[in-house]
Amino acid sequence: EIDMTELEKLRAHLNNHREEEQPKLTLLPFLTKAILKALQKYPQMNCRYDEDAGEINTYANVHLGIAAQTNMGLAVPVVHNVQQYNLWECAGAISDLTSRAKMGKATAKEMSGSTITITSLGAIGGIFSTPIINHPEVAIVGVNKLFDKLVLDEGNITTKRCMNISASFDHRVVDGVEAAEFIQVIKKFLENPSLVII
């Protein structure tokens, strides 16, 4: 469970002050940046496992798959080298690519080669999910619906905007402790969003 209160305030502020040509920021660019930060500490999550050869192929660049529902079923368009984009560019790349994928206009290259994937069931309203790894990757991170929660904050009852993250890992490559620590790093950056955009 992640306290998204500060991130939602920052996202609203940035959207209210964006330039006309800048895309609207959703949660996905922030999550992407948090994942990129976590991958600096846990690069083994950004890999593909070749079962036939018994080899783990780790990548320096991050090729982010974005699971998207299309008229032809589930598709995973890929933002290649996503680490090169700033927050706004990341938002634009994700929006453009997923839109073209939904229309069946993404290229074959844009539909392949992912090294880690994000999936989002938030729009459907799920609070928990069990993401299925996009083989041959070894990790997938899923975001769920935002919800308000009453919490005690220094003895006072207040409302926080929360969201659960769901993730799955291939334990042939990723140990359980590493997986849990990876998610905790993502949580830290989402709960402190200024660190994401610095």
**Could you give the CA distance from residue 12 to residue 8 in angstroms, rounded to a whole number?**
6
Name residue 119's beta-bridge partners: 142
Cα-Cα end-to-end distance for the chain: 24
Question: Quick one: what percent of the chain has pLDDT higher than 70?
Answer: 99
pLDDT at 94 (0 to 100):
96
User: pLDDT (tens digit, 9 = 90+) per residue, 42-60?
Assistant: 999 999 999 999 899 999 9
Q: Could you give the count of Cα atoms lying within 13 Å of 123 in the half-sphere of its Cβ? A: 8
pLDDT at 74 (0 to 100):
87
Told to judge if 171 belongs to the known catalytic residues of this protein, a careful annotator would answer yes
Q: What is the mean pLDDT of the chain?
A: 94
Residues 16-44: what's their mean pLDDT? 95
Cis peptide before 136, with omega less than 30 degrees from 0? yes
Residues 148-172: what's their mean pLDDT? 94
pLDDT at 23 (0 to 100):
93
Residue 15 or 128, more confident: 15
User: pLDDT (tens digit, 9 = 90+) per residue, 94-140?
Assistant: 999 999 999 999 999 999 999 999 998 776 778 888 999 999 999 99
pLDDT at 96 (0 to 100):
95
Residues 78-106: what's their mean pLDDT? 95
For residue 108, report the phi and psi dihedrals to the nearest 5 degrees. Answer: -60, -40
pLDDT at 124 (0 to 100):
76
DSSP 132: P
Long-range interactions of 54-63: CB distance < 8 A, separation 24+: 56/138, 56/173, 59/115, 61/115, 62/35, 62/36, 62/115, 62/116, 63/113, 63/114, 63/115, 63/116
Marked catalytic residue, from 50, 148, 153, 175? 175
Amino acid at 38: A
pLDDT at 8 (0 to 100):
97
Structure tokens at 160: 């926080």
